[in-house]
Amino acid sequence: QATIVDMSPDSMHIALADSGKCVGIYRRERNVLESGKEVPWLYLGRYRSHHGAIVGLKFVEDKDAGIIRLLSLGQDRVLVEYDLANSFAATGIVVRSAVTVEQTAVPTALLVLPPAAHPGEDPIRPLVVSANNEYKLKILDVLGLSGVHDERPLPSQDSHCVQTVLGPTYGLSALNWLMVLPGTDADKHYCVYTTPEKVVGLMKLPLDGNPNSSMGLIAHAGPVAGACIS
């Protein structure tokens, strides 16, 4: 059963996470079935990359390197990056790196920050946010996950964690879904979040741990099954 579906920014790949802790990838490519029918999507394969439930699956556009990355985050505390360029239907999905991002806390959601959304960081450098069950938000440098990217040494290879801040503490459970609201003003970014029970809210970017930069409201009488933005 599919639990998360995401499409790449260039609309060339679709990734699915399922309840079997696996990630499947489709590529937009001419494909002729045995029956002779032509279909626009080629199934590259399915890879079991986690031993805990997958809570985040995101494509990240790396403008500096000119590639698109695929990341998955699981309750096993591991953030996995997949090598899309070297993944094919004949050979299967290739994993580029797998990094443990938590020690005791359990990840609950994954977010891709928009460019220049975090002060003091290179606006071209892709950053993601991992939420956990201790109401913390951990900002991660995607290029720091493997230590070296495209033979370019990182300015600092000590850690892939840029900053850890306090997240919204509304509701009985931590955040389980995060998405940045689309907007034209580069100086004003907001993030929508949901919790498993009742609460939906907003956070103002950049993330700084200030409780006055977020709000939450009781939107449902019971569990929140899903959300979307337009």
Beta-ladder partners of 45: 25
Element (H, E) at 224: none
Confidence of residue 70 (pLDDT cuts 50, 70, 90): very high
| Phi, psi of 88, deg, nearest 5 | -135, 160
- Mean pLDDT rounded to a whole number for the chain: 87
Kindly state the percentage of the chain with pLDDT values over 90: 63
Q: What is the pLDDT of residues 24-42, one digit of tens each?
A: 999 998 877 777 788 899 9
Neighbours of 132 (CB within 10 A): 23
Q: Where are the alpha helices (DSSP H) in 18-158?
A: none
Confidence of residue 192 (pLDDT cuts 50, 70, 90): very high
| pLDDT of the residue at 185 | 67
| pLDDT of the residue at 73 | 96
Q: What is the pLDDT of residues 156-165, one digit of tens each?
A: 444 578 899 9
> Which has the minimum average pLDDT: 62-71, 99-108, 132-141?
62-71
Confidence of residue 97 (pLDDT cuts 50, 70, 90): confident
User: Residue 199 above 80 pLDDT?
Assistant: yes
User: Residue 19 above 50 pLDDT?
Assistant: yes
Element (H, E) at 109: strand 107-112
Kindly state the percentage of the chain with pLDDT values over 70: 91
* More reliable by pLDDT, 7 or 154: 7
Exposure string of 82-101, with b = 16+ CB inside 10 Å and e = fewer, is bebeebeeeeebeebebeeb
Note the pTM of the prediction, 2 decimals. Answer: 0.88
Instruction: Find out whether 110 and 73 touch, Cβ atoms under 8 Å.
Output: yes
Query: Token pair for residue 10?
Result: 């260039």
Length of the chain as a residue count: 230
| pLDDT of the residue at 153 | 42
Neighbours of 192 (CB within 10 A): 17
